[in-house]
Structure 1
Amino acid sequence: MIDGTMNAEKMGISNRKTVFQLIRNVPDISRKELSESTGLDPSTISRIVSSFRKQGYVQETGLNRSTSPGRSSVRLSVIKEAAISYLISLGVEKTILGLGFLDHSVQRIEEFATPRGFDLFLKTLADKISKHFREFPTKNRTIAMSFSLPGIIDRKNRYIYNLPHLGWTGIQLREAVHRVLGETRLEVLAANEAQLSLMAERYLNDTLTPYKHGFYLFLSQGIGGAILSEGDLYLGRSFSAGEAGHMRIDKNGALCQCGGRGCLETLAAIEPVVRDYERKGTALYGANSLEKFRSLISRYRQGDPLAIEGLSAMQDNLVLGITNIANLLNPEFLMLGGMGYDLPEEWTSILEGRVKKEALTSAGKGLKILRATMDIYDSTLLGSDLLAMDYFTEKNIR
């Protein structure tokens, strides 16, 4: 009897989480649609929704106009400020600090140059969050600090294995943050920037809805990646799955941040492409490599021969890397994200055609190469918010 009671209780919690996730992710959903989507009895849905409203998590937002005889259905949505998280998109050169909300809206607070040392970064971040937190009117609903990081992160233990372009290794992030921001009593969450960007695209981009197998190629100062397998993120045994930037392309090539030679990111990341152009030509406009890469793309579009030469070489190396990914993982799609969002639109069809010629027939057939719909910061901020609100759901929906 005890086992039966426990199983019923677990089933009830599972049902509540399922319903809450649907309300979170499908704005203006109705009770009828919730019942149809979950298979739960309408009376059960009504009880669950009523409890969420009493907790201050869900609200009724109006009526859906009915296309059939009968009553119009009431729309439901989460209450935006029922849960709030600080979002930290840590880039190699620039960091964005923002707020994320339960409805997955994001508000940028400020940005600052990323300090080279971890201790100085933490002090800078702590000063900004402490000041904001003291003045924040809804700080009692703030649940977490959610980090997007450019490297290999143990999500479970909030442990930084390696942020190679910053030289940060072996850091217990939760403990470090709580040493300087313990008074906030906020949970610390962290994940890789490519993984969070893939989460964001899957949430916001309906094009990805039919796909269960894919790869998100994150282009920035280095190259990262995230794997979608059977509809879920595949993280690997130690959270390093998807590090496509460190596949070896040229064993005698340039030294990589990882210590190897000739990795894909030494040939096709934006930093070496920008550096090579400036060595051969003139200085590019911009305060950092991201801005300079956008300037390089502008010159490419204007017909600058050196820009065309540099970006053509980048494209050649991307074809090699993507072909390897296609042969190894056989994804349904590969998305160019991070600074891939800024690549010329025609590149997706060009790369797709070239990869299909180079890859195994079975791997290339049906492969779609897509460009991300969010830029390097929008995707990491939204992904960080999704991570925070998943944490909120797991902790609070019982």
Structure 2
Amino acid sequence: MKENNYTLILRSIFHNKRIERVNLAKETGLSPSTVTRCVSKLVEKGYILETGFSEGLSSGRKPISLEINPDAIRVLLVDVGARITNFALGKANGLIEKLESIATPITFEELLREVYYLLDCFRNIDIIAFSIPGMVDVNSNKIIFVPSRGWRNLEVSIRGVEVFLDNEANLAIIAEAFSHEEIRKSQCSVFVTVREGFGTGLWINGRIYRGPSYTAGEFGHTTIDVKSTKTCHCGNNGCIEEYTSVTSFFNTYGEHLRREINSLLQMRDKKIDEYLEILARAVANIVNALNPEYVIVGGELAGLKDEFYEELERRVKKYSLFPAAHILKVKPATFKTDTYLYGALYAVIQEVFIPRVIESIS
């Protein structure tokens, strides 16, 4: 119960940015005395800050606002893409500061050299969080396999700094669940990440599901065309990601891609119609297999016009079994850009920072 109370309070302050004790009690459903006791501990430990008085909330004594202490944890975020790797600084209040982008190195050792360079530039880093486009053993900080780079069985350790790494789609669904109560409380939600590849993060019965060998959600490597001559990075032919990859289909990515897709939507071009049809078939396979309440679409497909997601939902429901289609909602990703940087930060807050806070107080 104590752990749950602190989690509720921290999450509520995080999402409101600034909130007063009285509103914190209303929002969390906790008693005012419980809120006062927990907040006192969190302030004493330096995890949250009292940041002055709120205006217009009462005619008497002004209530004090509370905020997450941004420096309660400092995270170096590393989003490894098949083409581009992005770096940022993340803080406990959920804000990030973009640092730089580089062409993703051929070897992981080259990537680590850039990480060490940034550690020399930015002191007081508590943890380094990697978003990996492949399979990751989160318990041993081991990259199992990154198909686009051929990286296999790499144990990641960095001198003097804690390391956290996970698959990019897993990080994205953790961030969505942390941000939205309906996702957090759903029996099954799926984050579909589409960029160079196609992967999914699975949220099942209130928690991330990675599988016993950490390969759950690799729907991009299921076969969509048994007669295909297209060879995937994984070594098989006819994989879904060979057809849904935006960089292959549209031959661009980033803001250029978003502008092109939005333009094609407006013109009702047959190219976007073809892509939506392929993507809908792929997502419908997931819906028929898992029966999710929510499918969240992100990666390079984040930040598009609402029309894209509405049309995708219509087509996915068309190809899904009726009971599954009846409850399904297709949603855009919360973060329109930098999904995996935010995903890595939110995952660290959820899976490292909050447990660490509770442990220190207990």
Give TM class, smaller chain.
0.7 to 0.9
Aligned letter for 2:347? Answer: L
Deviates more, 1:249-258 or 1:119-128: 119-128
Shift, 1:295, TM fit: 6.3
2:235 is paired with a residue whose SS is: coil
Q: Distance in 2 between matches of 1:150 and 1:37?
A: 37
Tell me the TM-score normalized by structure 2: 0.87
User: Equivalent residue for 2:261?
Assistant: 297
Computed over aligned residues only, the root mean square deviation of the Cα atoms, in angstroms, reads 2.8
Kindly indicate whether the alpha-carbon contact (under 8 Å) linking 1:205 and 1:373 is maintained by their aligned counterparts in 2: no
Tell me the TM-score normalized by structure 1: 0.80
Q: Map 1:173-322 to 2 at 5 A.
A: 173-174=156-157, 178=158, 182=159, 185-204=160-179, 208=183, 211-253=186-228, 254-274=230-250, 289-290=253-254, 293-294=257-258, 296-297=260-261, 300=264, 303=267, 308-322=269-283
Aligned letter for 1:189? Answer: F
1:380 paired with 2:340, answer: yes
Shift, 1:206, TM fit: 7.4
Aligned letter for 1:244? Answer: F
1:341 is paired with a residue whose SS is: coil
Q: Alpha-carbon deviations, 1:223-255, whole Å to 9, x = none?
A: 011112233222222222222211211112111
Aligned letter for 2:261? Answer: I
Aligned letter for 1:386? Answer: Y
User: Equivalent residue for 1:279?
Assistant: none
Kindly indicate whether the alpha-carbon contact (under 8 Å) linking 1:154 and 1:161 is maintained by their aligned counterparts in 2: yes
Q: Distance in 2 between matches of 1:355 and 1:55?
A: 49
Aligned letter for 1:94? Answer: I
Aligned letter for 1:113? Answer: A
Kindly indicate whether the alpha-carbon contact (under 8 Å) linking 1:158 and 1:189 is maintained by their aligned counterparts in 2: yes
Say if 1:313 and 1:12 are closer, same or farther in 2 by CA, change over 3 A: closer
Larger radius of gyration: 1
Kindly indicate whether the alpha-carbon contact (under 8 Å) linking 2:175 and 2:347 is maintained by their aligned counterparts in 1: no
Say if 1:271 and 1:55 are closer, same or farther in 2 by CA, change over 3 A: same
Aligned letter for 1:255? Answer: T
Q: Distance in 2 between matches of 1:237 and 1:272?
A: 32
User: Equivalent residue for 1:357?
Assistant: 318
Shift, 1:211, TM fit: 4.6
Shift, 1:384, TM fit: 1.2
Kindly indicate whether the alpha-carbon contact (under 8 Å) linking 2:303 and 2:337 is maintained by their aligned counterparts in 1: no
Aligned letter for 1:93? Answer: R
Kindly indicate whether the alpha-carbon contact (under 8 Å) linking 1:270 and 1:290 is maintained by their aligned counterparts in 2: no
1:108 paired with 2:82, answer: no
Aligned letter for 2:234? Answer: C
2:93 is paired with a residue whose SS is: coil
Q: Distance in 2 between matches of 1:294 and 1:15?
A: 41
Say if 1:26 and 1:224 are closer, same or farther in 2 by CA, change over 3 A: same
Q: Distance in 2 between matches of 1:18 and 1:357?
A: 39
Q: Higher helix share goes to which structure?
A: 1
Among candidates 296, 307, 324, match of residue 335 of structure 1: 296
1:313 is paired with a residue whose SS is: helix
Among candidates 38, 47, 51, match of residue 37 of structure 2: 47
Q: Distance in 1 between matches of 2:237 and 2:110?
A: 30
Q: Distance in 1 between matches of 2:56 and 2:96?
A: 32
Structure 1 regions of 5+ residues with no counterpart?
A: 1-10, 276-285
Shift, 1:126, TM fit: 1.9
Q: Distance in 1 between matches of 2:316 and 2:127?
A: 42
Say if 1:45 and 1:336 are closer, same or farther in 2 by CA, change over 3 A: closer
Structure 2 regions of 5+ residues with no counterpart?
A: none
User: Equivalent residue for 1:172?
Assistant: 155
Shift, 1:205, TM fit: 5.7
Q: Distance in 2 between matches of 1:160 and 1:337?
A: 23
Shift, 1:270, TM fit: 1.3
Tell me the number of residue pairs that the alignment of Structure 1 and Structure 2 aligns. 357
Q: Distance in 2 between matches of 1:24 and 1:167?
A: 38
Q: Map 1:3-82 to 2 at 5 A.
A: 12=2, 15-36=5-26, 41-64=31-54, 72-82=62-72
Say if 1:223 and 1:33 are closer, same or farther in 2 by CA, change over 3 A: same
Q: Distance in 1 between matches of 2:340 and 2:10?
A: 23
Q: Distance in 2 between matches of 1:354 and 1:19?
A: 40
Q: Map 1:93-104 to 2 at 5 A.
A: 93-104=83-94
